[in-house]
Amino acid sequence: MELNYSRLNGEYLNWSLKNGDGRDSNDLRFGQYLHSKYSNMKEFTDVFYFESCEFVYSTLLKDLYELEEKD
């Protein structure tokens, strides 16, 4: 499955409601969770080690926008 605007927005909303800006019950950060779920994460800025889900979300949103502009 590939990450896109719709999926990123849904993942962020779901994560924020369940975990706030922190880790989930499996001790995963938001970026780690996305890396494990989406096959195209190599196309984006590496957000694997960042704690803040808001930072990860905004970084990936920017990356999606820039990728779209290239097409």
> Residues 14, 38, 30, 25: is their CA dihedral positive or negative?
positive
pLDDT at 70: 82
Closest Cα partner for 43 from 60, 58, 19?
Answer: 60
Tokens of residue 71, six digits = 């097409």
Q: Does this model's pTM top 0.85?
A: yes
| Domain assignments of the chain as residue spans, ordered by start | 5-70
Closest Cα partner for 67 from 41, 48, 47, 49?
Answer: 41
Per-residue pLDDT of 13-52, as tens digits, reads 999 999 999 999 999 999 999 999 999 999 999 999 999 9
